[in-house]
Amino acid sequence: MERYKSAIPRAGAHELAGYLLFLPTIVVGPINRFDDYRRDLNRQRLDPALISEGAERILYGYAKIVILSNFLTEGVLGDYIATFDDPAAQHVIYLEIVQNGLNLYFQFSGYSDIAIGFARLLGYRVMENFNWPYLQPNISAFWRSWHISLSRWCRDYVYSVVVAQTRSPALGAMATMIAIGLWHEISLRFLLWGAWHGIGLIVWQKSQGWTTRFEQALPESALPVLHVAKVVFTVHFVWLGFVILTAGTPGAALETYGRLFGLID
């Protein structure tokens, strides 16, 4: 697409093959833009500082996966959840949702850290893929901090195109999130997961006017509390969306929601 838009010059076959088969990012990303890859390819050299950064980043990624994900989230938290007798109890379902959300972040961001570090060992600077997504105050900020490389690609080649053609930010948001969902897997569950976030973004877009006025009317001392409340709401919206993926089927997801909110015994 970038070549079609004349955003980058024509590439040779060896450059294109190297880009498509770039080992550090070929499995889990981040999605490295071709112009960034070519820039580092042309100036590639052994850089002791970059090698040191890369090794440190790889260790950081492994620590996330081994300590935070495998040991604490799956092990300690998983063992605690297993102590409850009723797996269908509301608090157990909630803890499992929290566990899944934390584990997914630690695993995904940990592998991204390893990929970024591996690339730096080879002399390449690959873009960051996560920026504290679970501490963001709204769903738009979350998607600017989660899987950043994919989000930016879809912003440039889905959202911008749809909005330019339709003049509808809402339609652009929905199309973008469905594209992100189907990018992971072409299936009903990922389509619904994308639509979940599309709806969240549309609601956020439409509510900006009155939420801004509400915040301006509050005393300054209340703003930190409001910020924490927004972060808590956003992260729970994200975690509840993951239920669509982990439940397996839409019916199972609805059953999980029903039990969580006390609508089903």
User: Measured at the alpha carbon of residue 236, what is the angle toward residues 234 and 239, in degrees to the nearest 5?
Assistant: 115
Determine the Cα–Cα distance for residues 201 and 154; give it in Å rounded to an integer.
14
- Cβ neighbors of 76 (< 8 A, separation 6 or more) are none
169 backbone φψ class: left, alpha, beta (φ>0; ψ -120 to 50): alpha
Is there a catalytic annotation at residue 91? no
- Ramachandran region of residue 29, left (φ > 0), alpha (ψ -120 to 50) or beta? left
DSSP H helices in 160-265: 160-166, 169-184, 188-217, 223-246, 250-260
Task: Give me the phi and psi of 124, to 5 degrees please.
Answer: -115, 140
Tokens found for residue 215 = 């915040």
Question: What is the C-alpha R_g of the chain?
Answer: 21
**From the candidates 14, 147, 184, 227, which is the catalytic residue?**
184
Q: What's CA 240's distance to the chain center, in Å?
A: 14
How far apart (Å, rounded) are the C-alpha atoms in residues 43 and 143? 32
Q: CA dihedral defined by 55, 111, 39, 122, rounded to 10 degrees?
A: 30
Q: Which one, of 104, 41, 88, lies nearest residue 235 by Cα?
A: 104
List active site positions.
Answer: 184
